[in-house]
């Protein structure tokens, strides 16, 4: 009887196709491929610096070509690692579902056995079977949704497509990622352990008894992530949300940062050091700087990504990793035309899109803008105003930092970069450059704090994409 009831239970519950181990094997192969490409990228860099005395047109052509190859390899590495993470997340969903289905099968078998032993009426037995079938359908539905989301994510990444664009792409053109850093190298190789002084300061920031300085990006091209962190830091709710997801563990002697994977499941990351060449943290005076809570998040995200490189990501992915909220809306300057709805780039936001950006900023939601617009005639924003007369109050109210004491003139907008959107009105958009400064039109440091106000026209021209996060949870 037990065997036949097990068979009935199995028929009611069914099976979930797919092998978590098989999916993980593919993810492992992609990570192995990324390591091979990483070695190749190192070889390209070595070849470029092996003969420093080589001069002339041929040398310049070789350097230009090798830099392009290096960038392409790095984009492919990031795509493979990103794809591996999505596959690993799906494998976990698949494994959890199979385990849940097995538990359900055991429960149904036991319930049917009890019903038979008790000579329960057929309607009760049918009810057990009906409820079990419904639960099984729900479990399989979660797997199906996860499979579709994973497939969509892998298509967006374009692993193996060789295009160099997409979520792991270089630059912001064509929907690719943004990742302009102030230095030439990605800088993630150097890490510094937290000192006792650092830990005391960071714990105070995490528990709400101290604030942190705005982000200050250095040699790692993770502007998209730092600009997103800065966007969360603009509101009290956002600051508290960040604090709520960092705790100190005495047992581990580490900060535990809670991030979220592709499916919105929490992932705890143990952080004991920070990127030496990453976010420059707080100004401690006397020329000293120390890591702040944003540095902890930056290191946690780097570890979450596989401890490889942070450059060339998307603000939307950063928002999802920070908040667990899926699919923040994206407003872009592409329109449609023609009977077939062909996409065209007109470098214009519609009135509805402007209203959407304005409302998001008003609501205190994170808003990050990417520069993948029209740089064909240069990168100058004319009539812009940088916060050259910064003071302490500007840190408390960055949306009101620009006033008559600041310098108005021509400033550079960085291509392939991400900025935090701070404020917007009928004429201007106020942004913060995560570099913690802007450059004048001639390329010199404007000696400001990164806050800059530009016209709506220049925003439309240079910023072709605006990522808008959900309301702070």
- Count of CB atoms within 10 A of residue 404's CB? 7
Rounded CA-CA distance 108/290 in Å is: 58
**How many other C-beta atoms lie within 10 A of the C-beta of residue 341?**
9
**Residue 346, C-beta contacts closer than 8 angstroms, at least 6 positions apart:** 333, 334, 335
Q: Which of 223, 245, 261, 317 is catalytic?
A: 223
Q: Is 417 a catalytic residue?
A: yes
Which position among 245, 308, 417, 437 bears the catalytic label? 417
How far apart (Å, rounded) are the C-alpha atoms in residues 334 and 392?
39
Structural element, H or E, at residue 284: strand 282-285
Strands 288-290, 282-285: pairing kind: antiparallel
DSSP state of 213: P
Active site residue 223: yes
User: Tokens representing 385?
Assistant: 């105003």
CB 388 within 8 A of CB 406: yes
What does the alpha-carbon distance between residue 37 and residue 34 come to, in Å, rounded to a whole number? 5
Residues 6 or more apart from 96 whose CB is under 8 A from it?
Answer: none
How is residue 72 written in tokens? 């392409």
Q: Where do runs of H (alpha helix) occur along 118-253?
A: 122-157, 196-207, 223-233, 236-244
DSSP 361-422: HHTT--EEEE--S--TT--EEEEEEE-TT--HHHHH-GGG---TTSEEEEEE--TT-EEEEE
240, 211 Cβ separation under 8 angstroms? no
Q: Annotated catalytic, 433?
A: yes
- Residues 447, 357 contacting (CB under 8 angstroms): no
222 DSSP assignment: -
CA 232 – CA 212 distance, rounded (Å): 12
| Torsion from C-alpha of 268, 265, 211, 400, nearest 10 degrees | 150
Which residue out of 261, 279, 292, 433 is catalytically annotated?
433
Widest Cα–Cα separation across the chain = 94
Rounded Cα distance, 424 and 287, in Å: 34
Catalytic residues: 223, 417, 433
């Amino acid at each position: 009887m037990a065997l036949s009831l097990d068979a009935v239970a199995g028929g009611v519950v069914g099976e979930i196709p797919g092998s978590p181990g098989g999916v993980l094997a593919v993810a492992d192969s992609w990570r192995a491929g990324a390591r091979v490409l990483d070695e190749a990228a190192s070889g390209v860099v070595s070849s470029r610096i092996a003969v420093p005395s080589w001069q002339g047109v041929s040398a310049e052509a070789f350097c230009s070509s090798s830099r392009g190859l290096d960038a392409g390899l790095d984009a492919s590495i990031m795509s493979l690692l990103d794809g591996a993470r999505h596959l690993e997340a799906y494998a976990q969903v698949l494994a959890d579902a199979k385990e849940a289905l097995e538990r359900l099968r055991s429960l149904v078998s036991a319930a049917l056995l009890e019903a038979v032993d008790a000579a329960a009426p057929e309607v009760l037995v049918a009810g057990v079977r009906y409820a079990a079938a419904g639960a099984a359908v729900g479990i399989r539905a979660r797997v199906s949704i996860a499979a579709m989301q994973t497939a969509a994510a892998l298509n967006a990444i374009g692993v193996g497509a060789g295009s160099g664009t997409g979520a792991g792409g270089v630059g912001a053109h064509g929907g690719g990622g943004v990742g302009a850093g102030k230095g030439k190298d990605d800088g993630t190789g150097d890490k510094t352990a937290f000192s006792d002084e650092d830990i005391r300061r960071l714990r105070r920031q995490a528990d709400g008894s101290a604030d942190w300085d705005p982000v200050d990006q250095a040699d790692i091209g993770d502007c998209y992530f730092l600009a997103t962190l800065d966007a969360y830091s603009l509101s009290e709710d956002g600051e508290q949300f960040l604090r709520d997801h960092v705790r100190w563990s005495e047992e581990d002697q580490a900060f535990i940062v809670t991030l979220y994977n592709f499916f919105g499941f929490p992932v705890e990351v143990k952080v004991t050091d920070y990127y030496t060449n990453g976010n420059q943290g707080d100004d401690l005076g006397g020329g000293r700087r120390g890591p702040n809570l944003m540095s902890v998040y930056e290191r946690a995200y780097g570890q979450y990504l596989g401890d490889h490189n942070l450059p060339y990501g998307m603000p939307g992915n950063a928002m999802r990793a920070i908040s667990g909220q899926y699919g923040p809306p994206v407003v872009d300057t592409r329109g449609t035309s023609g009977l077939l709805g062909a996409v065209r780039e007109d470098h214009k936001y519609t009135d509805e899109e402007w209203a959407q950006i304005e409302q998001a900023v008003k609501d205190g939601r994170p808003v990050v803008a990417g520069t993948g617009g029209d740089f064909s005639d240069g990168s100058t924003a004319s009539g812009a105003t940088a916060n050259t007369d910064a003071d302490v109050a500007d840190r408390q109210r960055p949306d009101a930092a620009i006033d008559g004491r600041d310098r108005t003139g021509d400033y550079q907008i960085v291509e392939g970069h991400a900025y935090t959107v701070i404020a917007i009105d009928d004429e201007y958009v106020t942004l913060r450059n995560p570099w913690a400064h802007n450059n004048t039109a001639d390329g010199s440091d404007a000696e400001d704090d990164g806050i800059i106000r530009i016209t709506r026209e220049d925003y439309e021209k240079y910023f072709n994409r605006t990522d808008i996060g959900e309301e702070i949870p």
